[in-house]
Amino acid sequence: MAKLVAVTACPTGIAHTVMAAEALRRVAALKGHSIAVETCGSEGVRSPLDAAAIAEADAVIVAADITVDESRFQGKPIIRTSTALAIRETEHIIDEAVARSREGMGAGQPLPVTPPRQVAGGAGAAPSAALVGPSTGRLVAITACPTGIAHTFMAAEALTRAAKARGYTIKVETQGSVGTKNLLTPEEIASADAVIIGADTHVSTERFAGKRLLKTSVGEALKQADSVIERALTLPVTPAGTPAAEAPAQAVAPAKTEPAGPYKHLLTGVSFMLPFVVAGGLAMALSFVFGIDAFKQEGSLPAALMGIGQAAFALMVPALAGYIAYSIADRPGLAPGFIGGMLASRIEAGFLGGIAAGFLSGYVARWFRDHIRLPANLEGLKPVLILPLLSSLVVGLLMVYVIGTPVAAIMHGLTDFLSGLSGTNAILLGLLLGAMMAVDTGGPVNKAAYAFAVGLLGSNTFTPMAAVMAAGMTPPLGLALATVVARNRFTLQEREAGKAAAVLGLAFISEGAIPFAAKDPLRVIPSIVFGSAITGALSMWFGCGLRAPHGGVFVLAIPNAVQPVGPYLVSILAGTLATTLALVILKRPLPEEPVLAGPGTTPTLR
C-alpha cells in the first residue's frame, strides 16, 4: 500500500477542486492506498496537509489550474496534472504516482501526467525519439489578435494551463494594439523545446531560427491548447542555423490551421490602424463638448481638439495600407504601403483605397525583394534605395492613374448609401451586422463586420460602428443574465463563468460567450445571434452613432462619443433580454447537481 498526499486547486475552489479531491480519495481507497488531500481556492486552504503526512508520503499529486507552492514537497516525487484530468483520468494518475514512488524518482522532480491518447503508430504510442529530440521541459509561445484585448490573453492563459498539465513550463509573449508584453528573451527561446505562434496577425519569425515552430490561429490556441502543444512537441527538430522562414514544411502546422493569407494581412493592418481611430474619434468627440460648432473658432481649445482628431484620422488609411503591406512583404512593404495609403486618402478613396493600396504595395514589394539580384558589394543599397523607390513608384502611379479613381467612386457611393439609409434598409443592415458579430464571437465573420465598421469611421459614417459594438456586447451580457434568471439550465461552473461574462460584455469583449457556445453550440449560437441581430437593427433604426471603435459602456462617459445615448442603451438592453429569452426557451433544465461533501457531512443537491 502506498501513502500519497495531494493538492487540488482551481481559480474558484468550488467545483473542480472538490470534485478532483473526492475522485482521488475514492480511487485511492478502491486500490488500497491511503491519501490525504488538501484543497485550495478563492476561499483559502481546506484540509491542509501537515508536515508528518508529507514526510511519510511516497509521492505527491498536484492537480491544479493555478500556482501552488511546492517547496514543502522537496525530496518527494511530484506528479503534476490539471483538476480536469484528475477527475476524468483518476485511476491513471494514481497508478502513475504509485509507480513513480516505487521507482524512487529524484527529489522534487515534476512529472507530467496526461491521459492515454491515440497517436500515429498505435494506441498510446509515443512519438519516436528521432522525431522529438531531447526535452528541456520548456516552451515559448506568441499569441496575437488585431486588438490584443481578448483572444490574445485568453489563448495565452489556455496554453499556460495546458503546458502546466503536461509538466512543462511555458512563457507566452502577447502582441496586440497595446504593444508587446512578456517579451521573450534570446535565452528563453534558445532553451525551449518548441515555439508556438497562435496569431491572426503577422508575427515575425526570424528570432526562432533553428527551433521547431508551429503556427496556428489564436482561436485554435484558445480552444484546442492541449492539441496545439502536442503537435508542437512532435514536430521534427529543425537543423541548427536554419532560418525560421525556411524551415522544412513538416516543421510547421498544416496550412489550414493558420488564418488565410489575405485575411491575416487585413487584420494586421486593422490592428495597427485602431489606435489612430480611437485617438482621433475621441478627440473629435471631446471638441463637441464645448458646442457643435465651437471648433470653428480658430485658436480655441475645441479647434485644437478637432485638429488633433483630424490629424489622427488622416493617418488612419496610411497606417492600414502600410501594415497590410508589412504583413505581406515585411519591412520592404512599409514605405510603398504608407505612400499608397496617403495617396488613397488624398483622392478620397477611404479605407477601401487603403486596403487596395496595402495589398498592391505588399505584393509588389515582395516581388521586387525576391527577384532583384545585386552583386554582394551593392546589396546594401537594396533595402534603403532600390526597393523603396521602385515599389513606391509602381504603387503610386497605379493608384493615381488606374486604381484610385474607381475605388474612390465606389467609396463615395458606399458612403452616400449608408448615410441615406433609413427605415427598412437601415434595419436590414443592422440585422446583418449584428448577426455577423455573434455568429462566431471573435472569429473571421465577427472581425469582418468589425473591420468594415471601423473603416467607415474615417469617412464620418458612425452608425455601423454603433451597431457593431452594441451587437458585440449582447452575447456575453445575455448569457450572464440567463445564468441568473434560469439557473437550473446551467451547471455550477457555467454560472460562475457567467459573472465574468457580464464584465466582458460591458467592455465589448464578445469572447466572454465562447465557453458557453463551445459547450452547447446548437442552442447558444442561435440565441446570441438572435439577440445581437435585434440590437444591431434597433441601433441602426434609432440612428445611433459611435465615434470610438472600442470601449463598451465605458465609452459612454465621454461626452458625445455616442449619440443619442438613451436609444443606444435601449438597443443593448433589448438585445440582452432577447438573448436571455431565447436561451430560456431553447435550453432544457439540467438534473440537479450533487455537491460533493467533505468527510463526515451529507451530500446535498444544487
Over the stretch 98-157, which tens digit does the pLDDT of each residue have?
Answer: 888 776 544 444 445 444 433 333 333 333 333 344 566 789 999 987 666 677 888 888
Compute the average pLDDT of residues 386-402.
93
Length of the chain: 606
> Model confidence over 79-102: pLDDT tens digits?
888 887 888 788 888 988 888 877
Per DSSP, the three-state class of 97 is helix
Query: Which residues in 367-449 belong to E strands, given as ranges?
Result: none
CB 471 within 8 A of CB 508: no
Residue 283 has pLDDT above 80, yes or no: yes
Counts for the chain of helices (H) and strands (E), in that order = 23, 17
Q: Give the rounded percent of residues in the chain with a pLDDT score beyond 90.
A: 26
> Model confidence over 436-493: pLDDT tens digits?
998 877 677 887 888 888 888 877 788 999 999 999 999 999 999 999 998 888 888 7
356 vs 596, higher pLDDT: 356
Look-up of cell digits 449584428: 434
- Which one-letter amino acid corresponds to residue 107? A
Residue 262 has pLDDT above 90, yes or no: no
**Which one from 10, 40, 145, 544 is the annotated catalytic residue?**
145
Instruction: Give whichever of 152-156, 362-366, 496-500 has the largest mean pLDDT.
Output: 362-366
Strands 59-64 and 78-81: parallel
Give kind and range of the element (H or E) at residue 456: helix 444-457
Residue 335 has pLDDT above 90, yes or no: yes
Respond yes or no: is residue 145 known to be catalytic: yes
Residue 480: the pLDDT is 93
Strands 594-595 and 604-605: antiparallel
Residue 422: the pLDDT is 64
Query: Which residues in 101-220 belong to E strands, given as ranges?
Result: 110-112, 118-119, 122-123, 138-144, 169-176, 179-181, 194-199, 213-216
CB 127 within 8 A of CB 72: no
- Which one-letter amino acid corresponds to residue 141? A
Residue 61: the pLDDT is 92
The closest of 180, 209, 210 to 199, measured between CA atoms, is 180
CB 6 within 8 A of CB 63: yes
Lowest mean pLDDT among 20-24, 169-173, 360-364: 20-24
CB 450 within 8 A of CB 265: no
Compute the average pLDDT of residues 67-83.
81
Residue 122: the pLDDT is 38
What are the distances in angstroms from CA 570 to CA 519, 542, 544, 546, 566? 30, 10, 11, 15, 6
Lowest mean pLDDT among 36-50, 211-225, 227-241, 566-580: 227-241
The closest of 457, 533, 537, 469 to 506, measured between CA atoms, is 469
Mean model confidence pLDDT for the chain: 81
Compute the average pLDDT of residues 586-603.
61
Per DSSP, the three-state class of 495 is helix
Sorting pLDDT into bands at 50, 70 and 90, what band is 258?
Answer: very low
DSSP string, 515-573: HHHHHSHHHHHHHHHHHHHHHHHHHHHHT-EES-SS-GGGGGGSTTSEESHHHHHHHHH
Q: Which three cell numbers stand for residue 2?
A: 502506498
Q: Which three cell numbers stand for residue 65?
A: 489550474
d(CA 507, CA 498): 14
The closest of 491, 603, 492, 597 to 22, measured between CA atoms, is 597
Compute the average pLDDT of residues 569-585.
95
DSSP class of 238: P
Instruction: Give whichever of 120-129, 373-382, 553-562, 574-583 has the largest mean pLDDT.
Output: 574-583
d(CA 317, CA 323): 10
Residue 249: the pLDDT is 35
Residue 575: the pLDDT is 95
> Model confidence over 166-198: pLDDT tens digits?
888 999 998 865 667 888 988 889 888 899 999
Residue 538: the pLDDT is 94
Residue 507 has pLDDT above 50, yes or no: yes
